[in-house]
Every structure is written in C-alpha cells, then in structure tokens.
Chain A
Amino acid sequence: MNASGVAPLTLAGFEVVPLFKADVLDLTWKGNADMNVSVALKSYLREVDAEVRRQKVQVVHADLHELYFMSSACFQATAAWLGGIAKSAGAYKVTFATHPAHPWQKRSLEAIRRIAPDVVAIT
C-alpha cells in the first residue's frame, strides 16, 4: 500500500496504477487482462472500492488507452465492482476513457454499463 492508500496492481502483462487527486481517483489500466488476471483484479477492485469510499472520492476516472484486451472473466470482475457501487446508491461515479483505435472497448463496456447505468459513463 502506498501513501495514497492503494498500491498498483502489477501482474505479468497487466497493470493498474492508481493516483488519488483530491476527490478524483485516476485508475490507469495497461496490457492484457486475461484469465491470469481476473481473480487478482476482482480482489484489487474491492480494495480500491474500500479506499475510494474511505477517502470520499466522487469520481473514478479509468483510463483504458493502453488496455489491449479484456477477457469475459475480467469483465465479470469489473461488473462486480460496478454492481457494488450501484447497490450502495451510486456512492461514486466511474468514467471509462476509451481509445478510438480500440473500437472493442466501447462495445465491450456497454454490456457492463447496463449493470450500473447511473454509475458508469463511457467516453
């Protein structure tokens, strides 16, 4: 754990780097999120969720520009995180910033946006 409360998640070929800035958390995702990643990602997003609530962060900005692939198991992990936020009356918002060169990102994220439409925005 770093001074901000959550350490980066660093795995072979995949990384999530958090940066807390006042009431915003920048969460940068990089690499390939496959079956090696899903269990750790689910656990990590629980940790992020707890810290975001503790710090009363209002918005999580998830930057996916360098995310090249995400398996269905990792979407499931992400959906669990977003579903938890929605259940707690939208404690904070999550914005996913996609890359135009990766059209799959918007298509893929639309499915999990529907889990928590009041929580998630996709740009």
Chain B
Amino acid sequence: MTEANDSQSLLESRPALSLTFRPHAGLLTPVRDFVSSFCGTFLRDDDMIYRIGVTVHELLENAIKYSLDGTTEMRIELRRQTGASHVSILTENRATRESILAVRNIIERIHEADDPFELYCDMIRASLEQETGSGLGLARIRAEAGLEIHSSVSDDHVSVFAEARIDQGSLV
C-alpha cells in the first residue's frame, strides 16, 4: 500500500470533526443538525445519531452558560476497533472555580449512582426548586443518551468527555 493510501485509510477509519467557536443559543440547533449529519456519514443507527445529538446539545448549552470567555472547543471522533468502536464528544472551555467544582460533583454523583436513570429522575425532582445549575444536562447524557461521561481540569480549563460504544453493525 502506498503512503497516500495509508493516509487515506487512516482518515477513513477515524472520522473526526473539530470546532472552536463562540456558541450561542441560536447556534445550538444548527450545530446539532450539522454534527448529526456528520455522524450519518459513518453511522447507520438513527437512534444513536440522535443520542449523540442530545449529548452535543447539552454540552454546548453548558458551555454557553458557564464558559468564562464564551469560547468552546468541541471535538467529535469515531475510533474504529475490533469488536466495538467508540464515538467520543469532547468539549473544553474556561470556567470559574465554582462551575468547575459543580461539574466535577455532578459527574462524581453520576459515577456513583447504581441507576443513572433514577439519579436523573431525582435530579429533575430537585430541579423543580431551583432556577439554575441543576446539572440535568450532564445527568441526561448518561441516563438517557447512554454515554459514559468524564471530566478533566487544567487550571481554569474544564474538559467534559462523553463516549458511546458502537456495535459494528451500526457502522456504515
């Protein structure tokens, strides 16, 4: 195989999309639609594409609410592996110490929950008494979209990483 063919093969096996932008509410639906179309180039499972769209939407809503400078970096990537592949969605933005702590606490609760869906329901109940900062979006990603979710922090940068397992039969 030539070097050019090797490069092409690598690209085909790792479709990836990166955006660095200043999201605002009016961009949420267009970006979700764009990402869904992108995922449709390698996924044949409409429900999984929808779950990825939910994840992108909720992560971007959080970024809009809590980004310190309004800028967000987002990366969506397919990693093909033998047996099962994975789609990952990463968002990274600057945030206050309070927002970063809140994200970490919510993700810790999600990891500790025996039943993520029950936790999500509990959080909806609790949110009825509060106007902001409910953490529902992150809980929804785990409970309803079914993606694993993690965070990492470096100074005032917080990254939230969500990942879905993709069966080979769902790949184009």
A: which residues have CB within 8 A of B? 12-13, 32, 34-36, 69, 71-73, 75-76, 79-80, 83, 103-104, 107-108, 111-112, 114-115
**Which parts of B124-160 form the interface with A (CB within 8 Å)?**
124-125, 127-128, 134, 136-137, 139-140, 143-144
Centre residue among B25, B120, B124 by max chain A CB count within 10 A: B124
What separation, in Å, do the CA atoms of A76 and B133 have in the docked complex? Answer: 12
A5 to chain B, nearest CB (A): 25
> Is B171 in the interface zone, CB < 8 Å from A?
no
What separation, in Å, do the CA atoms of A3 and B144 have in the docked complex? Answer: 39
- Known contacts A79-B124, A107-B144, A35 near B136 by CB under 8 Å: no
- Known contacts A103-B47, A111-B121, A115-B121, A76 near B29 by CB under 8 Å: no
B: which residues have CB within 8 A of A? 25-26, 28-29, 32, 47, 50-51, 53-54, 57-58, 61, 64, 117, 120-121, 124-125, 127-128, 134, 136-137, 139-140, 143-144
* Chain A contacts for B64, CB-based, 8 A: 35
**Additional A-B contact list (15), CB under 8 Å, known A34-B57, A69-B32, A76-B124:** A12-B26, A13-B29, A34-B29, A36-B26, A69-B57, A72-B58, A72-B134, A72-B136, A73-B137, A76-B134, A79-B127, A79-B128, A83-B125, A104-B50, A111-B143
